[in-house]
Structure 1
Amino acid sequence: MTTSNGQQVNCRIWHDGELIAETVHRSEIIEALHEPDRLAWIDFVDAHPADLAELIDALRLPPTEIEDAFAPNERPKVTRHGDHLFFTANTAKLIGPLGDSTEDRLQIKRISGFVLPAALVTFRRSDFDMAPVLHAWDQNPDLLKFGPRALVYGLMDTIVDGHFATIQQLDDDIESLEDVLFDQDRTGHTFQRQVYSLRKELVALRRVVLPMREVVNGLLRHGGRTNTELDGWYDDLYDHILRAGEWTESLRDMVISLFETNLSLQDARLNTTMRKLAAWAAIIAVPTAITGWFGQNVPYPGFSQPVGVWGSTIAIAVGSALMWWSFRRRGWL
């Protein structure tokens, strides 16, 4: 349903886990949220607080929660007020392959919601893809008979699965950079930019993944003991979040190691280059010294005779060859 001001409102109603309605008139939304034998999901897309004044008054929602629901940079969290919970969480998705583009690949989308005794009310932007969540609910209809906590579980599980997919893609990108780390012809400016981009993306992803621990823990802590059947599902979800957080931290350490290893390799290559230059400079010094010596304006063995030219030439060749062999033996050349 779309209102006259462009705000979209989606709705679903279940009874004992069976979907019985997908469209509810706006005037029936408040009534649907208070039916004890029904489970309702009300979804507001691109909404504004002024458009929800009737709903806010009917549910007696605190102004602080409404402000948090529409704040652009709110941190993922769960808070309890009276008989309902407020939560906010973020999805994370990578757009496109790793490259040298300056545009951010990591797309973060936010969803907020209120968990009521018989309903779940969500607020999101139109760019937040709700299709995977609806698919998760349809795939587990038996869980929906346990109430709104089941809807929240399906939503959080889908979000965490998206985190895993993003982390896996970043892991693949890091492995691709590891393959070229020791190739000195491919670790130039582009490589450094890619490493910096990965590090920046992991920092942003870390801000999304790590707070999810407190979100799910808060849902478990404030969920009460009315739906103990769902506790096992939430425990499994919490385990997935811990794994995602640990994986993110390990990738962050790998990117730091990748960056530091590249710097160390560059220093080693520079030392090798300087050593080679020093070796060749020493070799060139041999003919310079000999020709300089034979260029003196005093008589020397072979002075003004062909034997002097041949003598100096042989001395240059032998001296240079000895220097080259000595440096080669030490690994300088």
Structure 2
Amino acid sequence: MVSGYPTPPGHSGSVTSPATATRLYENGKVVAESFPCEDAQAQLDRHPGAVLWLDLLHPEPADLAAVAATFSLHPLAVEDALADHERPKLDRYPSHIFLNVYGVDIAADSAAGITKTELSVFVTDRALITVRKSASDTTRLVERWDANADLSEGNGVAFLLYGLLDVVVDGHYAATQRLDAAMDSVEDALLEEGGAPRPVRLHAMDLRKTIAALRRAIAPMPELVSQAMRADLKLVGEHLMPYYRDVEDHAKHTVDQVEHLRDRIEGLLQADLAEQGNVLNDVTRKLAAWAAIVAVPTAVTGYFGQNLPYPGYDRFWGWIFSTALIVLMSGGLYISLKRRGWL
């Protein structure tokens, strides 16, 4: 147990926290799974060459403290694992490595925005401990490990970390592709003559917010993977190094995609704003032209004081006629301007 980290009342240093999943890999095979947490250390002792995956879903502080006592996890790392909305990072401690990453998902129509799943990861010599802050599907993670089980032989826990990072980065790239497709659907509407309707502009603003949220989760990933490959960590061997470099390359490509999406949506919004400005200038020019035409007779009649009598000038029906004419002309002008979208 790490000095300074208290053992919770009722615990003797063994793992008693309920886990959502446990798996033991040895020589490319799963030798045990779905066993109780309290048996984790015993399983490792029975299989000296095996590595453990222990998954915890939103554990209580006391439960995570018991895990920390068994696997010698640093109290600062445990504190970060319990806190929400930590930034993506990789921290090195004497007995383990701590990572915080985000899995992301985008709704098919992007209307619901981005869904981020915060994942804290402890990497010890023989165990990968994942702490999920919210419910999420781990099926893809297990499938990736099973599909690449041959990589586990001789690579220890680095094999598990590779699979996890690969799945996370693949999810990031899939999210950028879905956003790119969603942006295609609004691009033509944003570039319509006269400017886009307000609902389309609001949808574009929603896409921009989603891209910003996605960027915060994705931007640190290339540096994070690069740190995991550092030689002084002695985590990634020569056999797995090309696979980690491949994940790093995918992470860099995904960051480039996010930057492209951000530039693209900003360009589209600026183009729509410019189009609205062009329409406003055109309307202003037309109104100024009509004002100039009306100003000439108004100035002449005003200068000479030509208040001419109109038909029915001294009759009641004349007042009715002039009033109706004003109402009809004003109403007709209002309808015309409304149809043009000026009002």
Give TM-score scaled by structure 1 length.
Answer: 0.79
The answer to whether the Cα contact below 8 Å between 1:86 and 1:114 also exists between their aligned partners in 2 is yes
CA distance 1:52–1:291, shift in 2 (3 Å): closer
The DSSP-based 3-state class of the residue aligned with 2:144 is helix
**In the alignment, which of 190, 193, 209 is matched to residue 200 of structure 1?**
209
The answer to whether the Cα contact below 8 Å between 1:36 and 1:118 also exists between their aligned partners in 2 is no
CA distance in 1, matches of 2:44, 2:286: 79
**In the alignment, which of 26, 39, 51 is matched to residue 39 of structure 1?**
51
Instruction: Specify the code of the residue in structure 1 equivalent to 2:96.
Output: H
Say whether residues 1:58 and 2:70 are aligned partners: yes
Instruction: Specify the code of the residue in structure 2 equivalent to 1:159.
Output: V
Structure 1, 77-86 or 178-187: larger mean CA deviation:
178-187
Shift of 1:90: 0.3
CA distance in 2, matches of 1:230, 1:186: 52
**1:25 equivalent in structure 2:** 36
CA distance in 1, matches of 2:291, 2:248: 64
CA distance in 2, matches of 1:225, 1:76: 19
**2:60 equivalent in structure 1:** 48
The DSSP-based 3-state class of the residue aligned with 1:129 is coil
Shift of 1:269: 0.5
CA distance in 2, matches of 1:81, 1:6: 23
Gaps of 5+ in 1: 298-333
Shift of 1:92: 1.2
Shift of 1:18: 0.9
Instruction: Specify the code of the residue in structure 2 equivalent to 1:120.
Output: L
1:104-162 CA distance string (max 9 Å, x none): 51111011111121221111145222111111111111112222111111111111111
The DSSP-based 3-state class of the residue aligned with 1:229 is coil
**In the alignment, which of 271, 284, 296 is matched to residue 261 of structure 1?**
271
Shift of 1:52: 3.2
**1:212 equivalent in structure 2:** 221
**In the alignment, which of 222, 225, 238 is matched to residue 248 of structure 2?**
238
CA distance in 2, matches of 1:296, 1:66: 90
CA distance in 2, matches of 1:185, 1:98: 26
**2:142 equivalent in structure 1:** 134
The answer to whether the Cα contact below 8 Å between 2:20 and 2:56 also exists between their aligned partners in 1 is yes
CA distance in 2, matches of 1:199, 1:16: 46
**1:10 equivalent in structure 2:** 21
CA distance in 2, matches of 1:226, 1:295: 96
Instruction: Specify the code of the residue in structure 2 equivalent to 1:16.
Output: N
The DSSP-based 3-state class of the residue aligned with 1:110 is strand
1:1-333 equivalences under 5 Å are 7-33=18-44, 35-99=47-111, 104-145=112-153, 146-184=155-193, 187-221=196-230, 223-224=233-234, 227-284=237-294
Shift of 1:255: 1.5
The DSSP-based 3-state class of the residue aligned with 1:180 is helix
CA distance 1:135–1:10, shift in 2 (3 Å): same
CA distance in 2, matches of 1:288, 1:37: 99
CA distance in 2, matches of 1:13, 1:282: 86
Q: Percent identity?
A: 36
Structure 1, 111-120 or 178-187: larger mean CA deviation:
178-187
The DSSP-based 3-state class of the residue aligned with 2:240 is helix
CA distance 1:225–1:113, shift in 2 (3 Å): closer
CA distance in 2, matches of 1:17, 1:247: 35
1:90-112 CA distance string (max 9 Å, x none): 0111124145xxxx511110111
CA distance in 2, matches of 1:78, 1:296: 86
Shift of 1:198: 1.3
Instruction: Specify the code of the residue in structure 2 equivalent to 1:215.
Output: L
1:20-39 CA distance string (max 9 Å, x none): 21122333112234543112
Shift of 1:46: 2.3
Shift of 1:56: 1.6
CA distance in 1, matches of 2:303, 2:77: 90
1:200-253 CA distance string (max 9 Å, x none): 111111110011122211211154276211100001110111111111112111
CA distance 1:223–1:293, shift in 2 (3 Å): same
CA distance in 1, matches of 2:91, 2:42: 25
Shift of 1:287: 6.8
**1:302 equivalent in structure 2:** none
Shift of 1:191: 2.0
CA distance 1:41–1:290, shift in 2 (3 Å): same
CA distance 1:43–1:281, shift in 2 (3 Å): same
CA distance 1:232–1:271, shift in 2 (3 Å): same
